[in-house]
Chains A and B, each alone.
Chain A
Amino acid sequence: MPVIEVSKLGKDFSAGRARVRALADVSFSVEEGQFVTLVGPSGCGKSTLLQILAGLIAATSGEARIEGERICAPMPDKIGMVFQDPTLLPWKTALANVEFPLDLRGIDRTARRKRCAALLELVGLSEFADHYPHELSGGMRQRVAIARGLAQDPRLILMDEPFAALDEQTRTRMGHDLLDIWAKTGKTVFFITHSLTEAIYLSDVVLVMSPRPGQVIDTIAIDFPRPREVDIIGSEAFGRIRNRIWHLIAEAPA
């Protein structure tokens, strides 16, 4: 059974008297353990799609399922989320932020502490467990947010442009480390970005989206061997795929 199954999904927004079609007829599926990225220009409806998958907003037509279950509300035990902004609670330490979702579910302190300390180690922040968000760099905060997304041990992680606010070096490193985390945990990742390089470097499959209305116009399998090194970004094969996606997006009616 696919982890994500989307069929003929549509979403309309009313803007004043007009109705805007944000998504039209979007269909795709994501298999367990895959790293799938949705790439497209700003305003193509990527975030709308992610919000529907997260159960935060409802679709107008079609349907979306997570692990076979139709989405109608957030499913915190099935989906971990990482947003563009880390959205950490400023009065809590890194460790307490990771623990927060478990804390709300009433999980015993020692059990959750042990589990969350291990997650902080996974994202490389063991030494910063007692630091407050303002004492951490942007990249570190996003690592805490990733650890927090993993806290409830969901099988699927939804990531909404998580590295978009970071500088390029940090961003590349975060991508590399994310692949490492993904390999260690075996989670399914559904990732959104507008960076073609990031999409190709990270993914098993890239879904290309065109704007107005948002539609998946191509599905591209990326078969660079894993584990991947950052060097492949400069390779000729990498450039060919990027050009191909670039033309797909550029030629779509904007």
Chain B
Amino acid sequence: MQWRIIKAFAIAAAAMALWEAVVRLDLVSQIILAAPSHIVLAAAQDGGVFLHAFATTSIEIGAAIVIAWTLGIVLGVVAGSSHTLAAATAPVLSSIFAIPLIILYPLLMAWLGIGPLSKVVFGVLSGFFPIALNTIDGVRAIERRYLVFARSIGATKFQTYARIIFPLALPAMISGLRVGTGLVVIGVVVTEMLASLGGIGYLISYHRTLFNTGHVYFGIMLALVMSVAVNIGLTWLDRRIGLWRMREQAEG
């Protein structure tokens, strides 16, 4: 057991050493590949600035996730509950989803400025559509017998939505949440790189123009940390919900 951990560390250390050597021996230009020592140096030099940017981006992403989930789920449940509404909205939503939304960013910038607000709004736009579409599908797929059952036990409209429809649609919703949340992260970081005053994307883009490759790599690593954290959260959620997705299939 311990031997395996030691081996893993040894392999990682060897890879780092090789990486360092490749750069030091000028086998690859330092502009293309930063050595591990350069990244550490960048962190030591500008750690505070990066930490601040990390916080900015995290807040933008967090806000955009909350809004995208709320809007997507609420609209999805409402539209999904009515055959007519679903038929009217789903095709529109899926055609908008097919547009590369980044072409709208210049407009958002003009309307909302280059501060965090335009990042959050773009993040929401990126994540909203798959969440709403999957929620609509999830609600549409609920069998009528559950609704008949709800009426027969005297459930109120709110109870029917909150206690029966929502949990039944949850397994379908989660796949929308996975795609949508990933797109929120991408949306926020990409727009930071295009034009902004702060955030990880901004720092990556800024240092790239100055050929500070070490800083660029450090920024990329921080962005990766964010994606990994979001992904861990989603996997946890998926597993919890996945548990009774299985149960549901068994009952089917």
A interface residues with partner B (beta carbon < 8 Å): 54, 56, 74-77, 79, 81, 83, 85, 87-91, 100-101, 104-105, 132-135, 141, 152
Contacts and interface: CB of A to CB of B under 8 A. Distances in A.
B164 interface: yes
B1 to A, nearest CB: 35
Given A85-B145, A134-B246, A141 B152 contact: no
Contact of B153 (A88, A104, A134): A104
Contact of B251 (A76, A83, A105, A133): A133
A54 B148 CA distance: 10
Given A87-B146, A89-B167, A104-B163, A56 B151 contact: yes
A87 B149 contact: yes
A134 B251 contact: yes
B167 A133 contact: no
A90 B244 contact: yes
Interface of B: 145-146, 148-149, 151-156, 159, 163-164, 167, 244, 246-251
Contacts of B246: 134
7 contacts: A74-B152, A81-B149, A87-B148, A90-B248, A100-B153, A104-B159, A134-B248
A90 B159 CA distance: 17
Contacts of A141: 251
A218 B237 CA distance: 57
B153 A91 contact: no
A104 B155 contact: yes
Contacts of A133: 247, 250-251
Contact of A89 (B148, B164, B250): B164
B173 to A, nearest CB: 14
A79 B149 CA distance: 12
Contacts of A81: 149, 152-153
Given A85-B145, A89-B167, A132-B244, 8 more contacts: A74-B151, A77-B154, A87-B146, A91-B248, A132-B247, A133-B250, A133-B251, A134-B246
Given A76-B154, A90-B244, A104-B154, A134 B249 contact: yes
A75 B152 CA distance: 7
Contacts of A105: 154
B146 A134 contact: no
A119 to B, nearest CB: 14
Contact of A91 (B145, B156, B247, B249): B247
B152 A56 contact: yes
B153 A87 contact: no
Contacts of A87: 145-146, 148-149
A64 to B, nearest CB: 16
B148 A83 contact: yes
A74 B153 CA distance: 8
A91 B154 contact: no
A105 B151 CA distance: 13
A118 B155 CA distance: 23
Most central of B146, B151, B152, B247 by chain A CB within 10 Å: B152
Most central of A56, A79, A104 by chain B CB within 10 Å: A104
A246 B247 CA distance: 41
A-B interface, 5 closest residue pairs, ranked by CB to CB distance from nearest = A134-B250, A76-B154, A91-B244, A90-B248, A101-B153
A74 B154 contact: yes
Contacts of B145: 83, 85, 87
A99 to B, nearest CB: 11
B237 to A, nearest CB: 14
B246 to A, nearest CB: 7
Nearest to B244: A91
A141 B250 CA distance: 12
Contacts of A100: 153, 163
A134 B152 CA distance: 23
A206 B250 CA distance: 36
A15 to B, nearest CB: 18
